[in-house]
Amino acid sequence: MNIMGVFVVLTFVIFGVSSTGAPTLTRTYTCEISDDKTTRGSLQILYDGEDFIRLNLSTGTWTAANLQAEQFLKAWEHAERNAKYWTNYLKSGCIEWLKQYLTYSNNVNQGSHTLQYLTVVSSLNATTTGQVDGEIFVSYSSSDAEVIPKTEWIKQIYVDVPDYWQSEKSRISGDHGDLQHHLRDVEKIQKTKGEGSGPGAGSGPGAGAGPGAGSEKVLIFIIIFVVVFSVGVVFFALIAFCLQKKCSTITRCQDFESVPDIMWHSEEK
């Protein structure tokens, strides 16, 4: 691999690793049918792994975990309507899907059953996995842009409901877009918080994820470039030196071989 290739690989690795540290929103929603046939549901959103907002099914409203979450909910134009939608869905639509999945998977065991969807989004990527009773049955990644079946029984739905996969793809893709939009709004709030002054300014989940984060990447890039460039200069200097020594040796050998035979004969006498 040449020096430019090494540089490209190192840059990709560094920036690939650093991108995994980008802020994320994680949404988990679950619906459950318990032993006595009662139903429950929950939905929560985390920002960078920390509690951010959660849905209160009793009141059909959002509950904020901190000041930034409160600011986000105030700025979210459709927060109330969205809370009502999810409350209704978790109490009815989600339960109906769980019953269908249990039928397709031939899971008729007594006991509680759950359907859960976990979605993680960053500014660069988004993934979703669906689980029935802890078993992953579908997955979706924005890089693949396809819903991938993970069990044999879920494939049967494609036969019975031909539009299922396209419908799921559209639904999940739309969810990813909405959550990434929310992530940008949350990052703006966090950036404002990080630029504030006074006790506690810049603390909390995601603080400092603003201009400073970009500056760090630029600095890392410059350091890598300087190191790789220096190694390249030394490498090519060594090659030039070796080539020069080789040419010098070859020249001396050629001069040596060109000495007339008569000189050798005279020396022998």
Q: What are the CA-CA distances from residue 227 to residues 96, 209, 220, 267 (Å)?
A: 59, 27, 11, 57
Q: What are the CA-CA distances from residue 211 to residues 7, 171, 191, 214, 256 (Å)?
A: 25, 34, 9, 5, 67
Last residue of a domain, one of 185, 208, 231: 208
Q: Could you identify the residue written with the tokens 């009662």? A: 38
Q: Could you tell me which residues come within 8 angstroms of residue 168 by beta carbon, excluding any fewer than 6 positions away?
A: 138, 140, 147
Residue 232: the pLDDT is 67
Q: What are the CA-CA distances from residue 96 to residues 91, 103, 119, 153 (Å)?
A: 9, 11, 21, 17
118 and 232 assigned to the same domain: no
Q: What share of the chain is helix, strand, coil (3-state, %, to 5)?
A: 55, 20, 25
69-77 long-range CB contacts below 8 Å, 24 or more apart? 71/189, 72/182, 72/185, 72/186, 72/189, 75/185, 75/189, 76/182, 76/185
Containing structural domain, residue 255: 1-21+213-269
At 20, the amino acid letter reads T
What is the distance between the terminal CA atoms of the chain, rounded to a whole angstrom?
A: 57
Distance CA 216, CA 268 (A): 75
57 and 85 assigned to the same domain: yes
Residue 36: the pLDDT is 86
- pLDDT beneath 70, residues of the chain: 1-20, 108, 194-229, 231-236, 240, 242-269
CATH of residue 159: 3.30.500.10
166 and 241 assigned to the same domain: no
17 and 35 assigned to the same domain: no
Residue 69: the pLDDT is 97
7 and 99 assigned to the same domain: no
190 and 229 assigned to the same domain: no
50 and 85 assigned to the same domain: yes
At 185, the amino acid letter reads D
35 and 165 assigned to the same domain: yes
Distance CA 117, CA 31 (A): 9
The domain total for the chain is 2
153 and 57 assigned to the same domain: yes
134 and 267 assigned to the same domain: no
Phi and psi torsions of 244, nearest 5°? -65, -40
Distance CA 70, CA 137 (A): 35
48 and 128 assigned to the same domain: yes
CB atoms within 10 A of CB 238: 10
Residue 157: the pLDDT is 86
**Cα R_g (the chain), whole angstroms:** 32
Last residue of a domain, one of 208, 230, 258: 208
Q: Which residues of 3-32 are buried (b: 16+ CB within 10 A; e: fewer)?
A: eeeebeeeeeeeeeeeeeebbbbbbebbbb
139 and 183 assigned to the same domain: yes
Last residue of a domain, one of 167, 184, 208: 208
Q: For residue 266, what is the enclosing H or E element?
A: helix 261-268
